[in-house]
Amino acid sequence: MRVIAGEAKGRTLKAVPGKNTRPTTDKVKEAIFSMIGPYFDGGMALDLFAGTGGLGIEAWSRGVAQTVFVDREKISVDIIRRNVETAKMGSAAEIYRNDAERALKALAKRGQRFRLVFLDPPYKMVTMDSLMSDLAANDLLEPEAIIVVEHDASHQYPEQLGQFEQFKHAKYGDTAVSIYQYNTLDSQNGSEADVHE
């Protein structure tokens, strides 16, 4: 497992020992970033079921200003810390041990807003639509934020979910990736150009 492109290109990342964490393969990671990037101009990313931190580190390497990593397992948090050091992210990384719902409430209290969110939970969890609603309800998203959901290919998330619209869906073996854009009223009223400038 390695950083594919950008600032930390080629750096090797450690995996979490055991079978409970399933890191995104380099092939799927490359596909995800070709769909949503491949490069970024600042903004904040949230890697909510961070595991190894590979997706959030890749986003930073490709131009995101800061990434918040959240995982509830101590072993994962320890690995994320090591991988962040390997990538030389420094103060561009914030790492928290917490479960997803509590983390969202804590981040909302701090007034943080994200341009890019990765939801890559254990495949038995199929509640990412509910978590996306929580992201919106807690005002944690910038207009036109991108949400990347990695999930079991046998599960189908809806194409439209409140203000979220699925614009990419792809399968890689037993892994599927569904990518959504968060459409606020502002962006629906034709002010998208302001966001992209």
**Does residue 190 sit within a domain?**
yes
Position 197 confidence tier, pLDDT thresholds 50, 70, 90: very low
**Does residue 119 sit within a domain?**
yes
**Does residue 6 sit within a domain?**
no
**Does residue 97 sit within a domain?**
yes
DSSP for residue 25:
P
**Does residue 162 sit within a domain?**
no
What are the tens digits of pLDDT across the range 151-168?
A: 999 999 999 999 999 999
How far is residue 39's CA from residue 73's CA, in Å, rounded to a whole number? 30
CATH classification at residue 65: 3.40.50.150
Question: How many helices (H) and strands (E) in the chain?
Answer: 7, 8
Q: Is the pLDDT of residue 17 over 70?
A: yes
**Does residue 98 sit within a domain?**
yes
pLDDT of residue 81: 97
Average model confidence (pLDDT) across the chain: 91
What are the tens digits of pLDDT across the range 92-134?
A: 999 999 999 999 999 999 999 999 999 999 888 999 999 999 9
CB 71 within 8 A of CB 84: no
Domain range holding 178?
Answer: 27-140+167-196
Which strand (E) or helix (H) includes residue 81? Answer: helix 74-87
**Does residue 68 sit within a domain?**
yes
Specify the amino acid at residue 151.
H
**Does residue 131 sit within a domain?**
yes
State the total domains in the chain: 1
CB 33 within 8 A of CB 105: no
**pTM of the complete model:** 0.92
19-46 mean pLDDT: 90
DSSP for residue 91:
G
Roughly what angle, to the nearest 10 degrees, separates helices 74-87 and 54-61? 20
Q: Is the pLDDT of residue 146 over 90?
A: yes
